[in-house]
Amino acid sequence: MARIVMKFGGTSVADLDRIRNVAGRVKREVDAGHEVAVVVSAMAGATNQLVAWCQSLSALHDAREYDTVVATGEQVTSGLLAIALQDIGVEARSWQGWQIPIETDGAHGRARIDAIEGAELLRRMRELRQVAVVTGFQGLGPDHRVTTLGRGGSDTSAVALAAALKAERCDIYTDVEGVFTTDPRIVAKARKLDRIAYEEMLELASVGAKVLQTRSVELAMKEKVRVQVRSSFSDAPGTLVVDEDEIVEKEMVAGIAYSRDEAKITLRRVPDRPGVAAAVFGPLAAAGINVDMIVQNLAADGTTDITFTVGKADLPRTEATLKEIRQAIGYGEIAADRDVAKLSVVGVGMRSHAGVASTMFRTLAERGINIQVISTSEIKVSVLIGAEYTELAVRALHSAYGLDGA
Ligand code: ADP
Ligand code: ASP
Ligand code: MG
């Protein structure tokens, strides 16, 4: 008998039949004698719709009210799954973030979990054999208002709950059979990985592989939660996220990820003097805007162009912030480009092998794809390209690094 956390993503609870399917899977674990807590996402598409409503009313909407709106998707699925479980004879109760509570910081829209009070859930699991069906993605802020954890945040809810309940396993059920060498929806030859190192998964997630939210991997690594990614539509074994030394054969490149969630901003004719980068990026940081890639080019006339990327969702606030500091800095103009994609290759093998970056540049050059910005870290190389080349580039790189499966 084990204690397990099962998390089901949006496609797994997209309609009533799928919720029944999920209930059946939960029942199997309960019948096997396990103590089970379930974390659910909103139905597929529901969160997108809620976000779009907020944005349509106001591009610069209040983050507290955004959370009030977008947290509702998970409330629906938690109640529905509890009903479906009760209907097949499984003792179950739904829980929203504030009821447990799942305490977070006050960063509305991208809150971090501080603490989860698991005692009552544990008591019910033990004494009543009751399944806890917990809303993913949401928590309770210090202002006593509902918070949300950022897109894809239910993964983090699940890992945090597994840590709080000291669960033996945290199974992340999704619409693919595990973590692949790249997005299997784009590359048919992508291969499923039996195991992936925390560091690699962390890096892949942070550069756009949507299969796990970055913070969930961070937390799993820190709290030593055993995470498995698997399909809610098959019984095939999934992918285990493990310590690097549990992986025998280390590939140079573990995977390739892409993100269309970033926008490129160029500030033209910025005066080239000490303190100017601080004057640009300080106010953006103060506004809570995450800047990713940065390049600066020097012109001959004492000005520079500064190019950087931010999340597309942050673009309106970024432009507003930059306009506020225009007088003080005295730059020429702002140009924003939303039609960009970031491609990244990731692998711990890069620590000991040279040539990963040059293979990437050559492969893209052979396809006539222009590289706009480059950034690297110990186990990752990223480039920014035109969004229209995303699929072509991912497929070409997947072959170039020898990742294609049968
Ligand atoms: P869920 O709703 O279950 O949380 P997500 O859409 O957030 O599901 O994540 C699963 C999706 O992640 C897959 O459908 C797939 O398109 C995408 N994905 C991107 N990169 C990868 C990868 N390397 N391995 C597996 N899936 C990936
Ligand atoms: N429903 C939320 C989202 O779509 C959280 C999640 O699915 O993980 O981002
Ligand atoms: Mg997800």
List pLDDT tens digits, range 331-382. 999 999 999 999 999 998 888 888 999 999 999 999 999 999 999 999 999 9
pLDDT, residue 169, reads 95
Q: Is the CB of 41 under 6 A from ligand 1?
A: yes
Summarize the confidence of residues 176-192 as an average pLDDT: 97
Summarize the confidence of residues 381-390 as an average pLDDT: 98
pLDDT, residue 54, reads 97
Ligand 2 atom nearest to CA at 42: 1
Ligand 2 atom nearest to CA at 137: 5
Q: What is the pLDDT of residues 162-178, one digit of tens each?
A: 999 999 999 999 999 99
Residue 300 pLDDT exceeds 90? no
CA 180–ligand 3 middle distance (angstroms): 15
Neighbours of 186 (CB within 10 A): 16
Best mutation site among 7, 25, 157, 174 for ligand 1, i.e. most ligand atoms within 8 A of its Cβ?
Answer: 174
- Please choose, from the candidates 178, 170, 177, the residue with its C-alpha nearest in 3D space to the C-alpha of residue 220: 170
Residue 83 pLDDT exceeds 90? yes
Q: What's the whole-number average pLDDT of the chain?
A: 96
Residue 62 pLDDT exceeds 90? yes
Q: Give the CA angle between residues 76, 80, 86 to the nearest 5°.
A: 150
Q: How confident is the model at residue 101 (pLDDT cuts 50, 70, 90)?
A: very high
Neighbour-count burial for 17-56, b at 16+ CB within 10 Å, e otherwise: ebbebbbebbbebbeeebbbbbbbbbbbebbeebbeebee
Q: How confident is the model at residue 298 (pLDDT cuts 50, 70, 90)?
A: confident
Summarize the confidence of residues 249-273 as an average pLDDT: 93
- Nearest ligand, CA 77: 2
Ligand 1 atom nearest to CA at 154: 4
How far apart CA 324 and CA 133 sit, in angstroms, is: 46
- Nearest ligand, CA 151: 2
pLDDT, residue 352, reads 85
Ligand 1 atom nearest to CA at 9: 3
pLDDT, residue 157, reads 98
Residue 137 pLDDT exceeds 90? yes
CA 226–ligand 3 middle distance (angstroms): 18
How far apart CA 119 and CA 116 sit, in angstroms, is: 9
Q: How confident is the model at residue 299 (pLDDT cuts 50, 70, 90)?
A: confident
- 53 in Cβ contact with 21 (< 8 Å): no
Closest Cα to atom 8 of ligand 2: 152
Beta strand residue intervals within 194-332, DSSP E: 195-197, 227-231, 239-242, 255-259, 262-271, 291-298, 303-311
Residue 222 pLDDT exceeds 90? yes
Best mutation site among 176, 187, 195, 258 for ligand 1, i.e. most ligand atoms within 8 A of its Cβ?
Answer: 176
Q: Is the CB of 239 under 6 A from ligand 1?
A: no
Please name the helix (run of DSSP H) or strand (run of DSSP E) that holds residue 198, with its range, or none: helix 198-206
Residue 249 pLDDT exceeds 80? no
CA 135–ligand 2 middle distance (angstroms): 10
- Nearest ligand, CA 209: 1
Q: Mind listing the domains of the chain with CATH numbers?
A: 3-175 (3.40.1160.10)
- Nearest ligand, CA 213: 3
pLDDT, residue 247, reads 85
pLDDT, residue 267, reads 96
Q: Is the CB of 311 under 6 A from ligand 1?
A: no
- Nearest ligand, CA 394: 1
pLDDT, residue 297, reads 83
Q: Is the CB of 28 under 6 A from ligand 1?
A: no
Q: How confident is the model at residue 304 (pLDDT cuts 50, 70, 90)?
A: very high
pLDDT, residue 252, reads 87
CA 14–ligand 2 middle distance (angstroms): 12
Q: Is the CB of 74 under 6 A from ligand 1?
A: no
Ligand 1 atom nearest to CA at 182: 23
Residue identified by tokens 């019948």 is 31
CA 122–ligand 3 middle distance (angstroms): 26
How far apart CA 163 and CA 170 sit, in angstroms, is: 9
Q: How confident is the model at residue 33 (pLDDT cuts 50, 70, 90)?
A: very high
Closest Cα to atom 9 of ligand 1: 211
CA 270–ligand 3 middle distance (angstroms): 39
Least confident segment among 6-10, 195-199, 244-248, 373-377: 244-248
DSSP labels, 365-384: HHTTPPP-EEEEETTEEEEE
Helix (H, G, I), strand (E, B) or coil at 351: helix
Please name the helix (run of DSSP H) or strand (run of DSSP E) that holds residue 113, with its range, or none: strand 113-116
pLDDT, residue 10, reads 98
CA 372–ligand 1 middle distance (angstroms): 26
Summarize the confidence of residues 243-253 as an average pLDDT: 85
Phi-psi region of 149 (alpha: psi -120 to 50; beta: other; left: phi over 0): alpha
Residue 190 pLDDT exceeds 80? yes
| Burial classification of residue 87, based on how many CB atoms lie within 10 Å of its CB (0-12 exposed, 13-18 middle, 19 or more buried) | exposed
**Predicted TM-score of the model (pTM):** 0.93
Residue 248 pLDDT exceeds 90? no
DSSP labels, 115-181: EE--HHHHHHHHHS-PEEEEESSEEE-TTSSEEE--TTTHHHHHHHHHHHTT-SEEEEEESSSS-BS
Q: What is the pLDDT of residues 121-132, one digit of tens each?
A: 999 999 999 999
Summarize the confidence of residues 130-147 as an average pLDDT: 98
